[in-house]
Structure 1
Amino acid sequence: MTALHVNVDHVATVRQARRTTEPDPVQAAVLAELAGADGITVHLREDRRHIQDRDVRVLRETVQTRLNLEMAPTAAMCALAIEVKPDVAMLVPENRQEITTEGGLNVYELKDSVREAVQKLHDAGIPVSLFLDPEEKQIDTAAELGAEVVELHTGRYAEATAERQRRLELDILMTEASRVLDEGMQLNAGHGLNYRNVRPIAAIPGVRELHIGHGIVSRAVLVGFEQAVREMKALMTGHR
């Protein structure tokens, strides 16, 4: 069964809008786990626009499932990850001008710097996931770098408005998903997934985890965090 990892970044976004103490992403993570989430994901950005260092440290002490730390492949972020010891470190691209992550990490062109980050994390006993666009050269490079996990960026699929384009993007994801599995890496997926588009992604053969944030947090504003997580889990398992 495909696991659901809930990204609580945007709970922190609301908090940081007023520079106050609430809502607390740690409390949201607890509610998500109580509702059946299989893991918690946070992205500690270099500009600290939402998740803060304190959040990561407290989550490491409180998360009962699995903690996935999204981070840029920099020396400073590697040092923090080595200190905190998340269950998985996911290397992602980061552009301070972007609203959200705009695409996968280009490991093909950044091979040397990514290799250094992967080695540091592996030396500390931390498994590495790479957030990649569904492209052959990126996946082949990920295998070369020794990543345990590839999370395929589902943004183009999620943003497609025409059914024909959506089907095309889904076909691409399915083809590259097979490549990830053939290379012996764990297959995850995420970005832009919501209650309307999640089922086809959850049905991709071999997909182990979906990482979903904004869609769940948006729904939680209306129905509560536990209900929002339960509804997403139900949709993900409804295809089986």
Structure 2
Amino acid sequence: MANLLRLGVNVDHVATLRNARGSAYPDPLRAAILAQQAGADGITAHLREDRRHIVDADIDTLIAGLTCPLNFEMAATSEMQAIALRHKPHAVCLVPEKRAERTTEGGLDVAGDEDRLAAYIAPLREAGCRVSMFIGHDAEQIRASARIGAAVVELHTGHYCDLHADGHLAERDAELALLVAGAKLAKSLGLEVHAGHGLTFDTVKPIAAIPEIQELNIGHFLICEAVFMGLGPAIAQMRHLMEQARAGA
């Protein structure tokens, strides 16, 4: 169906809870399987260089235990490239990474590192991974992503969500317009368009309504809501809102 919008569920913060106590639970694979059963189209996991949440063993178990696609988020380092080439996940999403940040603060600077990134993703593409660039809506970053041979761009929605939360509604609407324009440009260049970061029940519908976007990746909010309503119901509610947006409701 041309208007289908997929939902990828990020299980990083299940691992955050586990690591807070140094225990064996909660298990990210168990959460991923529950997410599959609740209707997730894929699972996202970010193996950070500092292993602050997901660790190497989690990637091993997710690869072995999932029947839906794994979107492996990672920094563009030689260590992460070797891990991705060993596992050959369905998708690899390159993200910027800083040790001091609480979460990913912005998009990757593809335009400023074009030659290196083109060479970096070549073996990943040859291994059969769909390579995605996690970027802002800037037109030059989108064009650079197309030039280096990425299959996908994932547009960073964090600023839009922050503006909504802070009540800056005019600025929020301006940011949404830039995301709409970025999605249109990316699709015109032959890129598949995804979006994610910071999306909640309150912010997802305007993003889900952008027709060029084919996938949303949502994690932290769903894991937080699972504390109150359960993971399955949280995912079901998110899917309901996404479907409403696509139907124009």
Out of 209, 212, 219, the residue aligned to residue 225 of structure 2 is: 219
Q: Which residue in the other structure is 1:149 paired with?
A: 152
- Identity of matched residues, %: 47
Residue in 1 that maps onto 2:45: 42
Does residue 111 of the first structure (1) align with residue 117 of the second (2)? no
Does the residue aligned with 1:238 lie in a helix, a strand or coil? Answer: helix
Identify the residue that residue 191 of structure 1 maps to in structure 2.
197
Instruction: Tell me the CA shift for residue 124 of structure 1.
Output: 1.6
Give the C-alpha shift of residue 234 in structure 1: 0.7
Gap regions ≥5 residues in structure 2? none
Q: Partners in 2 of 1:63 and 1:104 — Cα distance?
A: 28
Match of 1:73 in 2: 76
Q: 1:66 offset after TM fit, Å?
A: 1.0
Residue 238 (structure 1) aligns with: 244
- Answer yes or no: is the 8 Å Cα contact 1:73–1:113 preserved in 2: no
CA displacement at 1:87 relative to structure 2: 0.3
Q: Aligned match of 1:123 in 117, 123, 126? A: 126
Describe the superposition over 1:22-59 as per-residue Cα deviations: whole angstroms up to 9, x where unpaired: 00111000000000000000000000000011111111
Query: Do the aligned residues in 1 keep the contact of 2:193 with 2:212 (CA within 8 Å)?
Result: yes
Deviation above 4 Å: which 4+ runs of structure 1?
A: none
> Is 103-112 or 30-39 further displaced after alignment?
103-112
1:194-233 deviation line (CA, Å, top 9, x unaligned)? 1110000000012100000011001001111111111111
Q: 1:73 is paired with a residue of what secondary structure?
A: coil
TM-score of the pair, normalised by structure 1 = 0.98
Distance 2:87 2:129 in 1: 10
Shift of 1:84: 0.9
Q: Counterpart of 2:112 in 1: which secondary structure?
A: coil
- In structure 1, the partner of 2:206 is 200
Partners of 1:212 and 1:204 lie apart in 2 by 16
Q: Distance in 2 between matches of 1:119 and 1:163?
A: 41
The count of residues paired between Structure 1 and Structure 2 equals 240
Output the CA distance in 2 between the equivalents of 1:181 and 1:42: 25
CA distance in 2, matches of 1:122, 1:177: 23
CA separation in 2, counterparts of 1:206 and 1:118? 24
Helix, strand or coil for the counterpart of 1:110? helix
Residue 234 of structure 2 is matched in structure 1 by 228
1:33 paired with 2:36, answer yes
Letter in 2 for 1:203: A
User: CA offsets per residue over residues 75-111 of structure 1, 9 Å max, x none?
Assistant: 1101000111110000000001000000000011111
Three-state SS of the structure 1 residue aligned to 2:125 is helix
Provide the residue aligned with 1:6 in structure 2: 9
Unaligned stretches of 5+ residues in structure 1: none
Q: Aligned residue for 1:82?
A: 85
Q: Does 1:178 align with 2:184?
A: yes
2:46–2:54 contact (8 Å) kept in structure 1:
yes
CA distance in 1, matches of 2:243, 2:16: 29
TM-align CA RMSD: 0.8
Q: Deviation at 1:8?
A: 0.4
The letter of the residue matching 1:148 is A
Q: How many Å apart are 1:116 and its aligned residue?
A: 2.1
SS state at 2:71 partner: strand
Larger mean Cα displacement after TM superposition, 117-126 or 194-203: 117-126
Structure 2 length normalisation: TM-score?
Answer: 0.95
